[in-house]
Amino acid sequence: MQKVVKIKLRQLIISLTIGLLLLNIAYASGEHLAISNIDVKLVSKTVRNLHNGDVIPEDARPGQLVEFRVEVANNFSNTDDVRIEDITVKTTIEGIDDGNDLEIESDRFDLRADTERKVIFKFDIPLEVLEDSFNVIIEAEGQDENGTLHFVESKLKLEVQKDNHKLIVIKKALTPIEVSCSRKNIQLTLVILNTGNFDEEAVTVMIKNRDLGIDIKDQIGELKSRPNEPESRFSKVYPLRISDDAEAGSYPINIKVLYNDDRQVTDESVTLTVSECGKLQPVVAIGTKDQEGTEVIMPPPEKKPEPKPDELLPEGTVLTQESFISGNGLILIVIIAEVIAVIIGSIAVTTLFRKRS
């Protein structure tokens, strides 16, 4: 019994050894396909020469663009002259989007021996994100012309930092953006988001333009700091009524969001254009220039009304209206009646002669 167990155990060890050898032959991990360098760009600053296990020294911010520049190399020598084909590179930021990953994969490409290629990945950090450290996984894989699979992986740490107090306006939409005769039904849509670490208990929205007579103050209450929760954002449509005597021009409407006991403020603005009621915009007469060669702007030609029929007749002519029966129509009816009478008479005479014969 012990001999049988020993034999089976020996066979298992041999099988595992052979399997591992075959796996090493068929799947080379990071020997010839390599991630040779990683640069990370955050706004205007670039951190260079990062490698597996590094922490990115610059912090990312909510809503910020982060760019990963990954260099992938074929480390086969020119003497070996082995080409690695169908290479794909994938970069993943784990769990940063409300617990979900952000992931981008490159198109496939080939690398000749002793060459490299740079692949760029661009990510927008979500506005609603936790202040935390996130894993960045960069993977490259391909297959050489001998059928061997190659795989390499690098890991980085990306840290996201947030302001303690931060409210931003993520939407400001004015409808319409231009008014003329009708100055009613103007609406301003606002969406405000808390991207900071702290709750804001007393938030006030102010919308003003003195020339248009706009002066709104709205105490909207509390905005929570928890990302991706309805309580962290505020949205409202404000009706705007402007003065009827406002002159034509462009008017900036100022938007202020006060928070943190009114110690901090977010400033935004939208522009409303007021045009004169019924005023025609000048148009350029194409090819028209004055004597000095300056292009002349002329109003569109006035359309003259079409002349009425009585205006085309000679002076003194009287225009009358007749009914169909009282005019030429009566004559036509008489002629038709006579023709019908002649036909009926002809038929009667013919019938009479046939009977006598």
Distance CA 130, CA 136 (A): 16
Residue 317 inside a domain? The answer is no
Residues 28 and 147 in one domain: yes
Residues 214 and 266 in one domain: yes
In this prediction, residue 334 carries a pLDDT of 52
- Give Cβ neighbours of residue 217 (< 8 Å, ≥ 6 apart): 204, 205, 206
Q: What is the CATH number of the domain that holds 103?
A: 2.70.50.60
Residues 184 and 212 in one domain: yes
- Domain range for 65 is 23-159
Residues 180 and 262 in one domain: yes
Token output for 181: 């005769």
Give the predicted TM-score (pTM) of the model: 0.68
Residue 42 inside a domain? The answer is yes
Residues 129 and 91 in one domain: yes
Domain count, the chain: 2
Distance CA 127, CA 230 (A): 14
Residue 353 inside a domain? The answer is no
Residues 37 and 153 in one domain: yes
Residues 97 and 176 in one domain: no
Burial status of residue 210 (CB atoms within 10 A of its CB: 0-12, 13-18, 19 or more): exposed
- Identify the domain boundary among 219, 254, 274: 274
In this prediction, residue 337 carries a pLDDT of 65
Distance CA 298, CA 187 (A): 35
Residues 120 and 52 in one domain: yes
CA-to-CA separations, 354 to 106, 329, 339, in angstroms, rounded:
106, 39, 23
Contact by Cβ (8 Å): 164, 207: no
- Identify the domain boundary among 117, 138, 159: 159
Residue 314 inside a domain? The answer is no
Q: What is the CATH number of the domain that holds 260?
A: 2.60.40.10
In this prediction, residue 281 carries a pLDDT of 46
Residues 188 and 127 in one domain: no
pLDDT along the chain (357 residues), means of 10: 52 51 44 95 93 96 97 95 96 97 97 96 97 97 95 97 97 95 91 97 96 95 95 96 88 97 96 81 42 39 48 43 46 62 66 57
Residues 31 and 77 in one domain: yes
Residue 328 inside a domain? The answer is no
Residues 176 and 142 in one domain: no
Q: Which candidate, 84, 89, 136, places its Cα nearest to that of 110? A: 84
- Identify the domain boundary among 159, 191, 217: 159
Residue 287 inside a domain? The answer is no
Which residue do the tokens 């949205």 mark? 235
Residues 56 and 135 in one domain: yes
Token output for 68: 């990963």
